[in-house]
């Protein structure tokens, strides 16, 4: 399975946070699954950190790529197809970062690893 990590999921994985469910940890740790982090999540982390809403031990420009490599998470660019799909997405979720992740997962055939119940309103595969 190809897993697209929600931003909070990535942060919980790299910090060992107890908010990461046992099922999510199992899916992430399964060697037959491939994990991806969207450039959208990197952007969200950078924005929230710059607004002092997300304290981090290192700048996002260092933390994100280092932790991605350390945890064998592949980068996923936000492409034109996903961007244009956003126009077809109903306004069920107001967070633009989450909406972009939903679009990427749908267009790319990925399963979104997320605890967000609002995301499950969309026709996107999710696990948690």
Contact indicator for 43, 37 with CB cutoff of 8 Å: no
- Give the alpha-carbon dihedral of 115, 119, 120, 124, to 10 degrees: -110
Which one, of 116, 18, 7, lies nearest residue 67 by Cα? 7
Q: What CA–CA distance (Å, rounded) separates 27 from 118?
A: 20
Can you read off the two tokens belonging to residue 45?
């982390």
Q: What is the pTM of this model?
A: 0.96
- pLDDT tens figures, 92-126: 888 999 999 999 999 999 999 999 999 999 999 99
| Whether residue 91 has pLDDT greater than 90 | no
| Domains with residue ranges and CATH for the chain | 2-127 (3.40.50.1010)
Contact indicator for 87, 93 with CB cutoff of 8 Å: no
- pLDDT tens figures, 6-54: 999 999 999 999 999 999 999 999 999 999 999 999 999 999 999 999 9
């Amino acid at each position: 399975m190809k897993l697209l990590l929600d931003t909070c999921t990535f942060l919980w994985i790299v910090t060992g946070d107890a908010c990461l469910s046992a099922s999510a940890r199992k899916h992430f740790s399964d060697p037959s699954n491939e994990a991806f982090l969207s450039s959208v999540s990197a952007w969200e982390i950078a924005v929230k950190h710059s607004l002092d809403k997300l304290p981090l031990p290192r700048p996002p420009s260092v933390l994100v790529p280092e932790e991605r490599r350390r945890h064998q998470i592949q980068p996923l660019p936000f492409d034109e197809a996903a961007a244009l799909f956003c126009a077809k997405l109903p306004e069920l979720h107001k967070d633009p970062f989450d909406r972009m992740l939903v679009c990427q997962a749908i267009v790319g055939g990925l399963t979104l690893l997320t605890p967000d119940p609002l995301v499950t309103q969309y026709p996107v595969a999710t696990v948690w």
